[in-house]
Structure 1
Amino acid sequence: MINFVGAGPGAKDLITVRGLELLRTADIIIYAGSLVNPELLQEAAVGCRIYNSAYMTLDEVVKVMIDGERSGYKVVRLHTGDPSLYGAIREQMDRLEEAGIGYQVCPGVSSFCAAAAALQAEYTLPAVSQSVIITRMEGRTPVPEKEKLHLLAGHGCTMVIFLSVGMVEKVRQELLDGAYSEETPCAIVYKASWKEEQIVRGKLKELPQMALNHGIRKTALIVVGECLGDDYELSKLYDASFTTEFRKGTKV
């Protein structure tokens, strides 16, 4: 059994309890060295073989997993954040299935959650936004035609943009071509939850300068939307006049 494990957004103590146990009992760990906090590797057992996939191809990664499993070893594939987001795990799982090897996935805390925590923000404020779009700017990796950033930006909801801070000029223009204005609040969160975490807030018109002034070129999320503003409505859930399954509302 191969275990894909979400390492969390960065801070060593934001891996799940299950993920940590799998890490501690692994015989082989293949970790995404470009993004996973190396402090997590201190949890590996003595004698555990550790591979950095940043220097490996897909074929090399899969070979280590297959060879390890067939030798009776416990193998952990350690991905940053939650493996389901930009983790390139489908291609690995398909290869394992072709080889007749079982696998399971241990979810992790995504960096978009850590960014909200750092910003002390609620992405889904009543009467402001009830949807969150997680996406990226098209770069060397293309995006489907219907997912071009300006089209998604047409919804005007909260957006969390991965892997795009190196293209902030293009990001700003695509967002302005959607439903956002130059005055829309935005933020850049660099290395959310890491010791090096930086938070830069501003308005959309300032986005490129925000990145430039703080020397942020990678490993950051862009958050945009009125959820970063000050206007919203109180939720119905805790409204004294609102009846729920657990509480009867009072008449005003």
Structure 2
Amino acid sequence: MTVHFVGAGPGAADLITVRGLRLIESAAVCLYAGAIVPRELLDAAPADARLVDTANLTLDEIVAEFETAHRAGHDVVRLHSGDTSFYSAIGEQTRRLDALGIDYDITPGVPAFAAAAATLGRELTLPGIGQTVVLTRVSNNSTAMPPGEDLATLGQSRALLVLHLAVRETDRVVEELAPIYGPDCPVAVVARASRPDELVVRGRLADLTALVRDNGIKAVAVIMIGRVLADNEPGFCESHLYSPTRERGR
């Protein structure tokens, strides 16, 4: 058997990959992150599939499900929200599977920051403005951030920052980043990106706490901070990719 780790995407059921959907449609067992993975994706599983909500399970209990399926010869789809490559907690699961000699593969998904950018109608890398995106989080009720990955250090590049798990820590975000980015730096908060109840608020870094509080945003949101979010930012130039001066044909 094989454990198929699948990124379910940011929330909209039709943003899953074709490969991911096909794996669900043939899965004997499907473990999913409850309250985050769309119900429509679970409905795509076979009628007799075992569906397991992992929201309240420990790592040991999740691995036990893998082992049970392995003994029965049943393939497993392990559905994670967003993309599998970051903040998905698959690393600790694949390490256990390696130790048990159970095969697995990984199918990526659409990450929340990409869905948020689409909602904003923005390219996050603009020529002459910003060519770097920093994906990070704020340490609160989670594992501590490693040394050197605090906001003040990461912000020194003044690249676009995309913050996960940060809507409850906006005071700290403003305190640490306003001296670097400036209080007038554009920010955008996208909650529940791609879902029917999606919410977008935009404003200045100095007003971030009020924007989050006054709009009742408490979870499942990304915060973006950077100049590329501004309208008509001075310095924007057209990409060399389609320039008439670019040499083509090689």
Q: Does 1:238 align with 2:239?
A: no
Q: Give me the whole-angstrom Cα distance separating, in 2, the residues matched to 1:30 and 1:244.
A: 49
2:153 to 151, 154, 171: 151
Q: Which runs of 5+ in 2 are unaligned?
A: none
Q: Give me the whole-angstrom Cα distance separating, in 1, the residues matched to 2:249 and 2:10.
A: 35
Q: Could you give the per-residue CA deviations for residues 74-124 of structure 1, whole angstroms, max 9, x where no partner exists?
A: 101000011111011111001111111010001111011001000011111
Q: Give me the whole-angstrom Cα distance separating, in 2, the residues matched to 1:40 and 1:94.
A: 26
CA contact (8 A) 1:186 1:228 kept: yes
- State the TM-score, normalizing by the size of structure 1: 0.95
**Partner in structure 2 of residue 249 of structure 1:** none
Q: Give me the whole-angstrom Cα distance separating, in 1, the residues matched to 2:139 and 2:151.
A: 8
Q: How far has the Cα of 1:245 moved from its partner?
A: 4.1
Q: Give me the whole-angstrom Cα distance separating, in 2, the residues matched to 1:17 and 1:51.
A: 22
**Partner in structure 2 of residue 162 of structure 1:** 164
Q: Could you give the per-residue CA deviations for residues 183-215 of structure 1, whole angstroms, max 9, x where no partner exists?
A: 100000000001110110001011001001110
Partner of 2:86: helix, strand, or coil? coil
Question: Identity of counterpart residues, as a percentage?
Answer: 42
Counterpart residue identity of residue 176, structure 2: E
Q: Does 1:187 align with 2:188?
A: yes
Q: How far has the Cα of 1:35 moved from its partner?
A: 1.9
Q: Give me the whole-angstrom Cα distance separating, in 2, the residues matched to 1:126 and 1:93.
A: 38
Q: Could you give the per-residue CA deviations for residues 196-245 of structure 1, whole angstroms, max 9, x where no partner exists?
A: 10110001011001001110011100011011112211111111122234
Aligned-CA RMSD value: 1.0
Partner of 1:59: helix, strand, or coil? helix
Q: Which runs of 5+ in 1 are unaligned?
A: 247-252
Change (3 A) 1:131 1:9: same
Counterpart residue identity of residue 66, structure 2: M
Counterpart residue identity of residue 240, structure 2: K
**Partner in structure 2 of residue 5 of structure 1:** 6
- State the TM-score, normalizing by the size of structure 2: 0.95
Partner of 1:144: helix, strand, or coil? coil
